[in-house]
Structure 1
Amino acid sequence: MFAKFLNLNTDKQDRIINAAINEFAQKGYDKASTNEIVKEAEISKGLLFHYFKNKKQMFLFLFDHCIQIITDDFYKKVDLTETDFFKRIRKAVLIKMDLLAKYPDIFKFIEEAYMDDAVDIKVEIEKKVKELNEINIGRIYEGIDFSKFRDDIDIQKILKIITWTFEKLSEETLTKAKLSPNHEIDYPAIQLEAEKYFEVLTKVFYK
C-alpha cells in the first residue's frame, strides 16, 4: 500500500515523517495542515498525495510507524528472562521512561493520537490500541513464574485485576492530560503512582 513512499531514500522519508509527526502532534488531526507538512518536508502537495491517498491514510501510517519504532526498541531492552512479575513490570516502566527521553516527538504524536476525538480516525485508533494492548499483555506476561502468586485466588483473575488497574491508571492519565492546556503527561508522576500500586498488588497477590 505504501510501496511508493517506502521506496524513497531514507532522508526524504524522514523529512516527510518528521514534518507530519510534528504537525499532527502540535495541532491534532482535524487542525493539522497538509500545506504545512509539505512546506516543512520541502515537497509538493501533489507528491505527498502520490505517496498517501489522503490525510487519514497518512495519519494511520504514521501511527503504525511510531508504534513499531517504540515496540521494537522496547522489546530489545526488556528482560523477558526475568520471571518475577512485578520486577519485570517495574523494569518495563523504567524502559518506557528511557524511550520517552529518546523519542519525545514520537511519544507526543502517539499521546495526541490516543486523545484525538476526530471522527475520521477515532474508531480506527481505538481498534488499533485495543489490539496492541492484547498483543503486548500476552508478550509481557510470557514466561512469568506464577508460583509466586497466592494459590487461593485464580491466576487469571489476578492478572485481570492487575491489567484493569493499570488500564484505569492510563485512562485517568490521558483524561487529565486531555484537559490540560498543552496535553502534557507527567511521566515521573505516573512512575511514582505506578510504584505505589506495585507495592499494594505485591502484598495482596504474592505469597
Structure 2
Amino acid sequence: MNEKFFDLPKEKQNAIINGAMHVFAKYEYKKATTEEIAKEAGISKALLFHYFGNKKSLYLFLYDYAVQKSYEQKKELKNKKDNDFFNKIIDAQNCKVKILLEHPDIMMFLTKVYFEENEEVKEVVKDVFKNSAVEAKIDFFKDVDLTKFKDDVSPKEVLNIVFWMAEGFMKDKRLEANKTVDLLKLNDEYVKYLKVLRKAFYKEEYL
C-alpha cells in the first residue's frame, strides 16, 4: 500500500474507505469490481491502484482498518466503570453507532468478510474471527453485576436474546447507509427495547 494515502485529508480518506466498503459490503469479493469501487470512492481507477496496488491489498487494508475500529470500541468500553448488564450493552451500542456515523457500511463489510469463501482472501482473515463471538461473551461477563437478575433468569440466555434481537431488529429496518439521522433514531428505538428486557428480567428493586 502507498503511504501517500495517509497524506490525504481525513475527509478524503474516509470518502475512499467508505466507497470501497460500500461495494465490498454489497458483493462477495470476486464480484466487487475496482471500477465500481473507484466510482463509489470518487476517484479514478488509476488513483485507486496508485494508493492500494490491487483489489486484494485494498480489501485487506479495509479489513485491518475495520478490526482496528472494533478494538478502539472495546478499549473505550473497558474504560467505563458501569457494571450493569444492560448499561454495558447500551454503551456498546452507542459506541457502535459512533463508528457507523463515520463508516456506515463497516458492520456489513465485516459480516461479508466473515462469510467470504474466496481462497484469495479467506485464508488471511479467517483466524481473526475464530471463536470471536465466544470470546466476546466471556469478556462481557468478567465484571458485570449478575445479582440484579431474577433468580430464575439465566444472564447468558438473556445475552443471546439481546444478540438475536439486534440481528432481527436491523434486518427489519433495512435503512439506507447514509441516513445518519435515521441511524440515531434507530439507536434510540433499540435502546427502548433493551429497557423493556431490563424490566422483564431484573428484580423489582433494580428497576
TM-score (norm 2): 0.63
Q: Distance in 2 between matches of 1:92 and 1:191?
A: 11
Q: Distance in 2 between matches of 1:91 and 1:136?
A: 15
Which structure 1 residue ranges, 5 or more long, are not aligned? none
Aligned to 1:182: 176
Letter of the 1:47 counterpart? H
Whole-angstrom CA distance in 1 between matches of 2:51 and 2:13: 8
| CA shift in 2, pair 1:105/1:148, >3 Å | closer
Match of residue 197 from structure 2 = 197
CA contact (8 A) 1:83 1:143 kept: yes
Change (3 A) 1:64 1:192: farther
Give the CA deviation at 1:194: 1.9
Kept in 1, the 8 Å contact 2:149–2:203? The answer is no
Q: Which residue matches 1:114?
A: 111
How far, CA to CA, are the matches of 2:90 and 2:175 in structure 1?
Answer: 30
Residues 1:158 and 2:154 aligned together: yes
Secondary structure of the 1:145 match is: coil
1:171 aligns with 2:174: no
Separation in 2, partners of 1:181, 1:9: 30
1:12-56: CA deviation from partner (whole Å, max 9, x where unpaired): 496466314224326723564423544634553543552x4x34x
> Does the 8 Å contact 1:84/1:145 carry over to 2?
yes
Q: CA deviation at 1:96?
A: 3.6
For residues 86 and 110 of structure 1, the distance between their equivalents in structure 2, rounded to whole angstroms, comes to 21
Aligned mates of 2:189, 2:145 — CA distance in 1: 29
Partners of 2:84 and 2:145 within 8 A in 1: yes
| Number of aligned positions between the proteins | 190
Structure 2 unmatched runs, 5+: none
- Aligned-residue sequence identity (percent) comes to 16
CA distance in 1, matches of 2:195, 2:129: 24
User: Contact (CA 8 Å) 1:22, 1:105: kept in 2 or not?
Assistant: no
Counterpart for residue 141 of structure 1 = 141
Match of 1:91 in 2: 91
The offset of 1:196, in angstroms, is 1.2
1:47 to 37, 50, 53: 50
Change (3 A) 1:85 1:79: farther
| 1:91 Cα deviation from its structure 2 partner | 3.4
Q: Shift of the alpha carbon at 1:72? A: 0.6
* Contact map agreement 2:83 2:143 (CA 8 A) in 1: yes
Which residue of the other structure, out of 1, 16, 25, is the alignment partner of 2:22?
A: 25
